[in-house]
Copies of this chain bind each other. A is one copy, B any other.
Amino acid sequence: MVEILDTTLRDGTQGEGVSLSVDDKVAIARRLAAFGVHLIEGGWPGSNPKDAEFFARMKGVDLGEARLAAFGATRRKGLLPEEDPSVLALLEAETPVVVLFGKSWTLHVLEALETTLEENLAMIRDTVAFFAKRGRRVVYDAEHFFDGYKEDPGYALATLEAALEGGADTLVLCDTNGGSLPEEVYAITKTVVERFPGVRIGIHPHNDAELAVANALAAVRAGATHAQGTINGYGERCGNLNLTSFLPTLVFKYGIPAIPPERLRGLKELAHFVDERANLTPNRRAPYVGEAAFAHKAGVHVSAVLKNPRTYEHIPPEWVGNSRRFLVSDVSGRSNLLAKLQEVGVDLSKEEAKRLLEEVKALEYEGYAFEGAEASFYLLAHRMKGGGLPFQVEGFSVFVHGSGLSTAWAEATVRVRVGESLEHTAAESPYGPVSALDRAFRKAILGFYPELADVELADYKVRILSGQEAGTNSGVRVLVEMRRGEERFATVGASENILEASLKALTDGYAYALLKPLLERALTGSRGG
């Protein structure tokens, strides 16, 4: 059994371009817990107010069997732990688990901390003891352990001794600079495992030489039973251990329990969820979870895979929630689509499925993407079954006016046909044009459908499609997430005009909210009887 500590929310956010709001962090923590991660390192409360707010918010959140951890440094030189504001901030996070990092490498002690080797040992011992005495489980992260060990093995081991004397429960060997080699990691981890029998030893690798996964596996083979990494390998510089690659290899290839195999079927979805929250484009080439990970080209590969998938697939893609794709064949397109509809119990004839596939392809050519927008996809299937929509937008306008470069003001109008009636409404908003459009649209339909009053926009993302070539003239895709109580549904709109794309996604959201009970009845008719 290898215990998994996920640090997407802490070390992951050190990655360039990775920025998560407190809401994002709470949502990701819930998903990680549901997925089966054992420890969730949520932030560094001593370092910034956003992380402190996160821990305050998490006090009311039930994570099931997962436990929340907060990260922090050993006390400053020359202070008592109880005098150090960072140590106190960490205590105030009130997490059952505390991850404390300290220095293992003499270079760091002497040149970065500018203190003595003895004082560093005391800093480790005292700070661990401070938390252990207050009932916290202390995971001790030995920063730069491998570099430190190579320079002065005796001192590196002495820092681990100090953490144990303080009451640390787990000793984690960090390859902080990410440049260690698998055989070094194996040998040094083995030495530590043998030196501290009965103590849980962990590994925290970085990917600066593209060896983080190999290094984590080497440590596990040497006896480590705790591993720290991030979803999609987010992290400082080249990133941390990519759990999305490490976990399936550990579980399926080594047969070592960590996350139950059935939970790994949610791996791709989890990886994409985290990318969505971070507003990062998923890496198509990502091992296991990338769109291309099980994509085969035509010819020999495809025909061999059709005869026996083992010929060109190292594991069955469904084990990680991915699927096989044949890049030049639209047969695969149709089977994916049918699989997707079967998933929700939709009963389409062959002819309907074919037309739906054609429509999806035409819309994707225009810039739509239904993977993250299932509500829009179900609305399409609904129309394919001959279903109508509760309203039709017939026109809109938006006017934005700004003085200087602040206090811009937006006004919108919409023309919406609802049954026999044509509603023409207007609204304004200090929050910009999408907000004004939303307000005008709600005015038009709430009279007819008062039950939509508690449906609201939860999230809104924009992506420019043609990338760097076209600039502002390029197409825009808007993904919208709507909320009704605990329920959420995602929709998509695409256009050359950002406001038009936004209105399309927005109105799909309201239509889906309205049609959902109906859709569930109609689309699952053949199944539910």
Contact = CB atoms under 8 A, between A and B. Distances in A.
Interface of A: 13-17, 19, 21, 23-24, 27, 47-48, 50, 73, 107-108, 111-112, 176-179, 181-183, 207-211, 213-214, 217-218, 221, 233, 236-239, 242, 245-246, 248-249, 253-254, 277, 279, 281, 283-288, 290-301, 303-304, 307-308, 310-315, 327, 329-331, 369, 371-372, 393-406, 408, 410, 429-435, 438, 456-469, 471-474, 476, 481, 483, 495-500, 503-504, 507
A494 to B, nearest CB: 11
Contacts of A210: 210, 213, 242, 245-246, 249, 287
Contacts of A474: 431, 460
Contacts of A476: 432
Number of copies: 2
Contact of A432 (B285, B399, B459, B498): B498
B48 A330 contact: yes
A298 B236 contact: yes
| Interface of A (DSSP majority class) | mixed
Given A314-B178, A315-B179, A331-B48, A16 B467 contact: no
Closest 3 CB pairs between A and B?
Answer: A179-B314, A214-B214, A457-B471
Which interface residue of A246, A249, A295, A500 has the most chain B CB atoms within 10 A? A500
A148 B23 CA distance: 49
Given A209-B287, A314-B208, A458 B468 contact: yes
A245 B496 contact: no
Contacts of A398: 398-401, 433
B483 A15 contact: no
A291 B17 CA distance: 11
B435 A473 contact: yes
A281 B236 CA distance: 20
B434 A466 contact: no
A311 B21 contact: no
A389 to B, nearest CB: 11
A264 to B, nearest CB: 14
Given A16-B295, A17-B371, A400-B499, 16 more contacts: A13-B331, A19-B371, A112-B303, A181-B249, A209-B288, A210-B287, A238-B293, A395-B404, A397-B402, A430-B496, A432-B476, A432-B496, A457-B472, A460-B472, A462-B464, A498-B498
